[in-house]
C-alpha cells in the first residue's frame, strides 16, 4: 500500500537528524511513497498545520548538515508533558485533536525522531491507535533499548577535540583546566570524551565526588612531574553528601541558581591546590555542527529502518542498533527510565585502570 509518511523531530537538535530525514525520504521514494515533513515536533500537527513536502530534491544536500531542517519545538501544547524518567500523560483531547490533523493531512504513518520525551508522546499516540514508528535520538546516549543513538559520537568528538585543545595550552602554562560537558543525568559524554581525550579526572552524575579526591589526584600528578591537569565534568556531577547531590530530577531554575559545576570545581581546586585554574563550558557547541561519519551512517540506517518498519506494519516499534544490525524494538522499552553509566561497569573500570580519578570517596581509602 502506498503510504504518505509524516516525519517529525522532537526535543533538542542533534547532529544526524537531517541524515535520518534524508534516509526516510530516500527509502520512501524507493517504494513510491510520499513524505511530509512536520515542523516543530508534534506542535506542527496542530492547526494551522505547519508542514512541508519532503522530496528527493529538497533533501539532496542535507546529509552533512547539522540541526534539523524541520525545526525544534519551543513551548507549545506538547511541552513539559514528558520528561526524563517520568512521562506525563497527554490530555485525551490533545491526542484526539492531533489524530484528526493527521487524518486531515492524509498522513498514513508517522515517524517520530526524538529522545525520551518525544518517544513517550509517540508511544501514547501508538496506544491511541496512530500508526507510529520511532527513531531514537539523544546527544546524551542515555536511551534504553539501543546500544547507541546518533548524535552521541558527534558530541563526544566535539568534547574530545576541546580536551585536545586544552591539553596543549594547559601543558604550556602549567594550569588545571576544567571542561564542563553536557550530561545532566548521565555521564556518557564526559566519560567517553574524558578517556579519549586523556583527562586526569572525570566527574559524572552517577558517581558523587569529593573535592579531596580530586585534589589528591592533582598532587599525585605533580609528584610524577606533571604540572598540569585536565578535568572533564558532566554538568550534572555533584559533590557527595552535599545538599545538591542528585536525589531526583532537579528543576532547571534551581540548577541555574547554583551556577555551573565547572566553575565551582575550578574554584575549589584553586583553593585546595593553589593551582592556576581555568574553566571552559562547551555548551551548545556539542549539539551544533554536522554529524561525524559514524553518526551519518547510523542516522541514515535508522531512517531507512523506520520506512521498512512501516512497510512491515511494525507500529509502536523503534529502530535500534544491535551490532552489526538495525533491529526493531518496542518504543515502550526505551522510555520511562534513562540509561546511566554503571558505576562499576566496564567503562568506569577502564578509566580507573588508566589512572583516571572519578573523584570518588573510595579513592581516598
Active site residues: 140
Rounded to the nearest whole angstrom, what is the least distance from the CB of residue 164 to its own copies in the complex? 6
> Does 257 help bind its own copies (rule: CB under 8 A)?
no
Rounded to the nearest whole angstrom, what is the least distance from the CB of residue 194 to its own copies in the complex? 10
> Does 165 help bind its own copies (rule: CB under 8 A)?
yes
> Does 345 help bind its own copies (rule: CB under 8 A)?
yes
> Does 346 help bind its own copies (rule: CB under 8 A)?
yes
Rounded to the nearest whole angstrom, what is the least distance from the CB of residue 77 to its own copies in the complex? 17
What sign results for the dihedral spanned by CA atoms 270, 160, 147, 138? positive
Phi/psi of residue 257, nearest 5 degrees: -55, -35
Q: Which of residues 271-310 bind its own copies (CB under 8 A)?
A: 276, 278, 280-281, 283-285, 287-290, 292-294, 296-297, 300-301, 304-305, 307-308
CA dist., res. 278 & res. 179, Å (int): 9
Strands 229-234 and 201-203: parallel
Distances (CA, A) of 155 to 60, 159, 318: 24, 6, 22
CA dist., res. 61 & res. 55, Å (int): 11
> Does 164 help bind its own copies (rule: CB under 8 A)?
yes
Angle, alpha carbons 150-230-149 (nearest 5°): 10
Rounded to the nearest whole angstrom, what is the least distance from the CB of residue 157 to its own copies in the complex? 4
How many chain residues are in contact with its own copies, going by CB under 8 A? 81
Comparison of 209 and 302: residue with beta carbon closer to its own copies: 302
| Contacting residue, 68, 101, 130, 138, with its own copies by CB under 8 A | 68
Rounded to the nearest whole angstrom, what is the least distance from the CB of residue 70 to its own copies in the complex? 8
C-alpha cell at position 118? 518525544
Distances (CA, A) of 106 to 24, 34, 103: 17, 10, 5
Contact criterion met (CB below 8 Å) for 48 and 97:
no
CA dist., res. 57 & res. 255, Å (int): 44
| Contacting residue, 223, 325, 344, 365, with its own copies by CB under 8 A | 325
Comparison of 132 and 326: residue with beta carbon closer to its own copies: 326
Comparison of 162 and 265: residue with beta carbon closer to its own copies: 162
Q: CA torsion angle for 203, 205, 206, 209 (degrees, to 10)?
A: 50
Region from 58-66, 99-107, 242-250, 251-259 binding its own copies, contact rule CB under 8 A? 58-66
Q: How many CB atoms lie within 10 A of CB 176?
A: 27
Strands 317-322 and 277-281: unpaired
Comparison of 95 and 266: residue with beta carbon closer to its own copies: 266
Comparison of 33 and 185: residue with beta carbon closer to its own copies: 33
Phi/psi of residue 335, nearest 5 degrees: -110, 170
Comparison of 43 and 239: residue with beta carbon closer to its own copies: 43
> Does 97 help bind its own copies (rule: CB under 8 A)?
no
> Does 91 help bind its own copies (rule: CB under 8 A)?
no
> Does 225 help bind its own copies (rule: CB under 8 A)?
yes
Q: What is the CA radius of gyration of the chain?
A: 22
| Contacting residue, 76, 88, 171, 336, with its own copies by CB under 8 A | 171
C-alpha cell at position 221? 600528578
Q: Which of residues 101-160 bind its own copies (CB under 8 A)?
A: 147-148, 153, 156-158, 160
3-class SS shares of the chain: helix, strand, coil, % to 5? 40, 15, 45
CA dist., res. 281 & res. 181, Å (int): 7
C-alpha cell at position 51? 508542514
Q: How many CB atoms lie within 10 A of CB 85?
A: 13
> Does 230 help bind its own copies (rule: CB under 8 A)?
no
> Does 361 help bind its own copies (rule: CB under 8 A)?
no
Comparison of 184 and 287: residue with beta carbon closer to its own copies: 287
Contact criterion met (CB below 8 Å) for 139 and 14:
yes
> Does 207 help bind its own copies (rule: CB under 8 A)?
no
Comparison of 301 and 332: residue with beta carbon closer to its own copies: 301
Rounded to the nearest whole angstrom, what is the least distance from the CB of residue 92 to its own copies in the complex? 29
Rounded to the nearest whole angstrom, what is the least distance from the CB of residue 127 to its own copies in the complex? 28
Amino acid at each position: 500500500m502506498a503510504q504518505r509518511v509524516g516525519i517529525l523531530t522532537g526535543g533538542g537538535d542533534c547532529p544526524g537528524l537531517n541524515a535520518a530525514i534524508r534516509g526516510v525520504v530516500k527509502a520512501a521514494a524507493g517504494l513510491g511513497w510520499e513524505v511530509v515533513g512536520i515542523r516543530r515536533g508534534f506542535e506542527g500537527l496542530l492547526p494551522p498545520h505547519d508542514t512541508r513536502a519532503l522530496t528527493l530534491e529538497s533533501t539532496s544536500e542535507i546529509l552533512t548538515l547539522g540541526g534539523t531542517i524541520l525545526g525544534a519545538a519551543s513551548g507549545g501544547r506538547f511541552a513539559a508533558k514528558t520528561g526524563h524518567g517520568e512521562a506525563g500523560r497527554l490530555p485525551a483531547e490533545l491526542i484526539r485533536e492531533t489524530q484528526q490533523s493527521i487524518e486531515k493531512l492524509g498522513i498514513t504513518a508517522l515517524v517520530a525522531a526524538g529522545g525520551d520525551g518525544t518517544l513517550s508522546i509517540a508511544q501514547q499516540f501508538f496506544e491511541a491507535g496512530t500508526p507510529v514508528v520511532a527513531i531514537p535520538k539523544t546527544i546524551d546516549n542515555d536511551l534504553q533499548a539501543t546500544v547507541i543513538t546518533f548524535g552521541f559520537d558527534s558530541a563526544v568528538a566535539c568534547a574530545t577535540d576541546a580536551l585536545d585543545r586544552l591539553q596543549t595550552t594547559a601543558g604550556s602554562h602549567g594550569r588545571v583546566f576544567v571542561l564542563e560537558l553536557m550530561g545532566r543525568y548521565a555521564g556518557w559524554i564526559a566519560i567517553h570524551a574524558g578517556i579519549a581525550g586523556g583527562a586526569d579526572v572525570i566527574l559524572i552524575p552517577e558517581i558523587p565526588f569529593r573535592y579531596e579526591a580530586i585534589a589528591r589526584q592533582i598532587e599525585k600528578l605533580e609528584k610524577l612531574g606533571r604540572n598540569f591537569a585536565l578535568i572533564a565534568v558532566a554538568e550534572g556531577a555533584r559533590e557527595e553528601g552535599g545538599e545538591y547531590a542528585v536525589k531526583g530530577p532537579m528543576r532547571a531554575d534551581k540548577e541555574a541558581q547554583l551556577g555551573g559545576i565547572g566553575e565551582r570545581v575550578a574554584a575549589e581546586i584553586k583553593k585546595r591546590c593553589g593551582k592556576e585554574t581555568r574553566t571552559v563550558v562547551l555548551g551548545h557547541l556539542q549539539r551544533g555542527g554536522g554529524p561525524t561519519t559514524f553518526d551519518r551512517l547510523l542516522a541514515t540506517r535508522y531512517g531507512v529502518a523506520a520506512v521498512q518498519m512501516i512497510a512491515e506494519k511494525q507500529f509502536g516499534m523503534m529502530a535500534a542498533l544491535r551490532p552489526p544490525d538495525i533491529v526493531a524494538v518496542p518504543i515502550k522499552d526505551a522510555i520511562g527510565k534513562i540509561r546511566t553509566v554503571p558505576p562499576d561497569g566496564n567503562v568506569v573500570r577502564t578509566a580507573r585502570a588508566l589512572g583516571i580519578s572519578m573523584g570518588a570517596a573510595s579513592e581516598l581509602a
